[in-house]
């Protein structure tokens, strides 16, 4: 089976869900026009990764009015699952006949509590159905100011019209049990959602492909200082530099032997594509299969 996959490297309209959704629909259409049958977006692309946690002043101050205002805007522009936004994303997947992986800030709907946000990955099959929902297990460092913890029920790939698709978010790629759970579920294509791909993020993505004997589509976003919340003050060298990049992209597509098929590309918006031959997975399993002849359950099992 051959298919074209796409990593969307772009900036949303930060903290504006409606405008970001409209941009996503345009980008999905562009990817479809390039032949993509699987389209992947970066971490919490709707309505934008909270890079301000790490690059703005006084974010962690207790009872900060400015941070409270930003958080309120973030909650107001987060996605209820299921809800109108997931319906629109499913419609886009169905209209273009492609599998869509979109990462979002998720908020619970009315009647199910209030206040907690989750870092959530959504997978839509080509018929528009919401095939899978995965919440990030452990928010990374400063992210714990915003997101609650996910659970392990979603650690598996799902069958789609683009093969068996699974995914992890950012630093989940350094959680060995999480990786193994997904390997055991038989991924053909793994989605690696990042805010951007620094050197070690690229290392983790290539390692995942080699270890899991699967293809990896790793997506990173682009963000400028001017996109940071106006309520907050950029720190250090970013102050007074509205055109400076906070997130640089680095999207990449990787084969089941760890080889890079496309990218990484930095500092620009683009749709990165590559054609995958899923039969190569079986070829690479000859030398390494961490769910089969390299598993050794007699040693590592309970």
What the chain holds in terms of domains, given with CATH numbers, is 2-300 (3.60.110.10)
Largest CA distance in the chain: 59
DSSP letter, residue 141 = G
Residue 187 has pLDDT above 70, yes or no: yes
Residue 302's pLDDT band (cuts 50, 70, 90): confident
Angle at 239 between CA 23 and CA 103, to 5 degrees: 30
Residue 110 has pLDDT above 70, yes or no: no
3-state DSSP assignment of residue 102 = strand
Say if residues 257 and 284 touch (Cβ distance below 8 Å).
Answer: yes
Which of 104-118, 134-148, 231-245 is predicted with the least confidence, judged by mean pLDDT?
104-118
Q: What does the pLDDT read at residue 111?
A: 62
Which of 6-10, 102-106, 175-179, 238-242 is predicted with the least confidence, judged by mean pLDDT?
238-242
Say if residues 167 and 101 touch (Cβ distance below 8 Å).
Answer: yes
The catalytic position among 43, 106, 143, 172 is 43
Mean pLDDT, all residues of the chain: 95
Q: Look-up: residue for tokens 């250090």?
A: 236
Mean pLDDT across 132-147: 95
Residue 289 has pLDDT above 70, yes or no: yes
Q: What does the pLDDT read at residue 115?
A: 72
Interaxial angle between packed helices 17-33 and 84-96, expressed in degrees from 0 to 180 and rounded to the nearest 10: 10
CA dihedral 200, 205, 206, 211 (to 10 degrees): 120
Mean pLDDT across 39-49: 98
Mean pLDDT across 27-49: 98
Mean pLDDT across 141-167: 95
Residue 71's pLDDT band (cuts 50, 70, 90): very high
154 vs 85, 108, 205, CA distance in Å?
21, 17, 20
Residue 238 has pLDDT above 90, yes or no: no
Peptide bond connecting 10 to the previous residue in cis, omega within 30 degrees of 0: no
Q: What does the pLDDT read at residue 50?
A: 97
Residue 12 has pLDDT above 80, yes or no: yes
Q: What does the pLDDT read at residue 233?
A: 86
Mean pLDDT across 181-206: 97
Q: What does the pLDDT read at residue 112?
A: 65
- Whether 43 is a known active-site residue: answer yes
The backbone torsions φ and ψ at residue 228, rounded to the nearest 5 degrees and listed phi first, read: -65, 150
Q: Look-up: residue for tokens 């908020």?
A: 107
Q: What does the pLDDT read at residue 301?
A: 75
């Amino acid at each position: 089976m051959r298919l074209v996959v796409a990593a969307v490297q772009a900036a949303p309209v930060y903290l504006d869900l409606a405008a970001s959704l409209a941009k996503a629909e345009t980008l999905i259409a562009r990817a479809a026009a390039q032949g993509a049958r699987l389209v992947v977006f970066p971490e919490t692309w709707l309505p934008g990764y909270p890079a301000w946690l790490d690059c703005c002043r006084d974010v962690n101050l207790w009872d900060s009015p400015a941070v409270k205002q930003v958080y309120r805007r973030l909650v107001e522009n987060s996605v209820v699952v299921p809800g109108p936004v997931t319906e629109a994303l499913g419609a886009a997947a169905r209209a273009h006949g492609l599998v869509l992986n979109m990462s979002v800030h998720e908020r619970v709907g009315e009647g199910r509590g209030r206040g907690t946000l989750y870092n959530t990955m959504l997978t839509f099959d080509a018929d528009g159905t919401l095939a899978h929902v995965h919440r990030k297990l452990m928010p990374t460092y400063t992210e714990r100011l915003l997101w609650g913890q996910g659970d392990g029920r979603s650690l598996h790939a799902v069958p789609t019209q683009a093969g068996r698709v699974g995914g992890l978010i950012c630093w989940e790629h350094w959680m060995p049990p999480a990786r193994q759970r997904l390997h055991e579920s038989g991924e053909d294509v793994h989605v690696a959602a990042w805010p951007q791909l620094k050197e070690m993020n690229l290392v983790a993505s290539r390692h995942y492909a080699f270890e899991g004997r699967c293809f990896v589509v790793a997506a990173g976003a682009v963000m400028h200082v001017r996109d940071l919340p106006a309520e907050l003050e950029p720190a250090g060298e970013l102050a007074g530099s509205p055109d400076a990049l906070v997130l640089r992209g680095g999207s990449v597509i990787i084969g089941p032997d760890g080889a890079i098929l496309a990218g990484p590309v930095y500092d620009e918006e683009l749709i990165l594509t590559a054609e995958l031959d899923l039969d190569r997975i079986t070829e690479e399993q000859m030398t390494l299969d961490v769910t089969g002849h390299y598993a050794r359950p007699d040693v590592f099992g309970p």
